[in-house]
Structure 1
Amino acid sequence: MAEASGGSKKLLWIMVILVVLSSLGAAAAIYMVMSKGGDADASAAAQEVAEPKSPIFQKIEPFTVNLAGDRSGSRLLYTGITLRVGDEQSKKLLADHMPQVRSRLLLLLSDKQASELSTPQGKEKLSAAIIDRLSQPLTENQPPLDLREVLFTEFIVQ
């Protein structure tokens, strides 16, 4: 008889443990479902904030430049450039001062040799030099230009 009551006590403890474990499992499942709903709202808000903006471009009409002399004699560069800027203010400032922009570019480009511009690395260096040159103020008390990238739309060295 002692064995029968000992066996029922074990069965009772096993049932209590199973009820507690199943309650904990249900609570964990409810928590997971509830927290996913909150994450969906947070991720939707993050997607609204992280919505990409359209790029802003300022086109510079193509022009031809005499390059610095090298062993091959006189060489020409025909190039079209588009600038990607960060805001409308920078685009307007560049458009309003386009003669100055073109003059700075002509002076910069006319100092280059054809051999410098024929490699991809040379074009990347030229792109960085254009950003540096155009970042210098065009007028007094000018806010800084937000130049992001120089895009060569046409590039012929002859």
Structure 2
Amino acid sequence: MANSKGGSRKLLWLMMVLVVLSSSAAAAAIYLVLGQGSGDSTSAMQVQATPERRAPIFVKIDPFTVNLADDVYGTRLLYTGMSLKVGDTETREILEEHMPQVRSRLLLLFSGQEARELTGPGGKEALADKVLAVLHDPMTEHQPELAIEDVLFTEFIVQ
């Protein structure tokens, strides 16, 4: 029985040490959590000042197939699909409401291009700039300025 009393005292001491250690760990964790919330107000303000992530708004334009301006190789075709990245829902709604007019402007623009210009270095970027310029003109009177941020070609084949 002497062994069982010694063993139970060791167990009692071990349990007391574990209680003290776990209490200390819990106290340290609470201190750290509460200390972060009230002690460092500048980092809390920075977190609040960070803007929320906005989902991008895209307007898909169905693909075009157009005859390009004649060059030394004869008649060439352009097949292109594109999406417009816009800054707000109002711009998306205006573009969707006037989609026939948008497509007509783009068709006229694309049919006036030459294949060598489009396939050369920077040809697609130059075409994207021209698309932005064509769509910048208002489609109706009293139309607010369109917030078109980028032109994204999703398909592009010159043949």
Q: TM-score, normalised by structure 2?
A: 0.74
Report the CA distance between 1:43 and its aligned residue: 1.5
Count of aligned pairs between the two proteins: 124
Report the CA distance between 1:120 and its aligned residue: 4.4
Give me the whole-angstrom Cα distance separating, in 2, the residues matched to 1:53 and 1:128: 25
1:63 aligned partner, one-letter code: F
Counterpart in 2 of 1:27?
none
2:105 aligned partner, one-letter code: R
Report the CA distance between 1:119 and its aligned residue: 2.9
RMSD: 1.7
Counterpart in 2 of 1:43?
46
Give me the whole-angstrom Cα distance separating, in 1, the residues matched to 2:148 and 2:109: 17
Matched, 1:109 2:144: no
Report the more deviating stretch, 119-128 or 75-84: 119-128
Report the identity percentage: 53
Q: How does 1:55-94 map to 2 (within 5 A)?
A: 55-94=56-95
Report the CA distance between 1:63 and its aligned residue: 1.4
Partner secondary structure for residue 108 of structure 1:
helix
Give me the whole-angstrom Cα distance separating, in 2, the residues matched to 1:89 and 1:120: 34
Give me the whole-angstrom Cα distance separating, in 2, the residues matched to 1:134 and 1:66: 21
Give me the whole-angstrom Cα distance separating, in 2, the residues matched to 1:120 and 1:95: 32
Structure 2, unaligned stretches of length 5 or more?
1-35
Partner secondary structure for residue 153 of structure 1:
strand
Partner secondary structure for residue 65 of structure 1:
strand
Report the more deviating stretch, 146-155 or 120-129: 120-129
Report the more deviating stretch, 115-124 or 68-77: 115-124
Counterpart in 1 of 2:131?
130
1:99 aligned partner, one-letter code: P
Give me the whole-angstrom Cα distance separating, in 1, the residues matched to 2:96 and 2:102: 9
Report the CA distance between 1:52 and its aligned residue: 2.0
Structure 1, unaligned stretches of length 5 or more?
1-32
- The runs of at least 4 aligned residues of structure 1 exceeding 4 Å deviation read none
Give me the whole-angstrom Cα distance separating, in 1, the residues matched to 2:43 and 2:57: 32
2:132 aligned partner, one-letter code: I
1:130 aligned partner, one-letter code: V
Give me the whole-angstrom Cα distance separating, in 1, the residues matched to 2:121 and 2:97: 31
Q: TM-score, normalised by structure 1?
A: 0.75
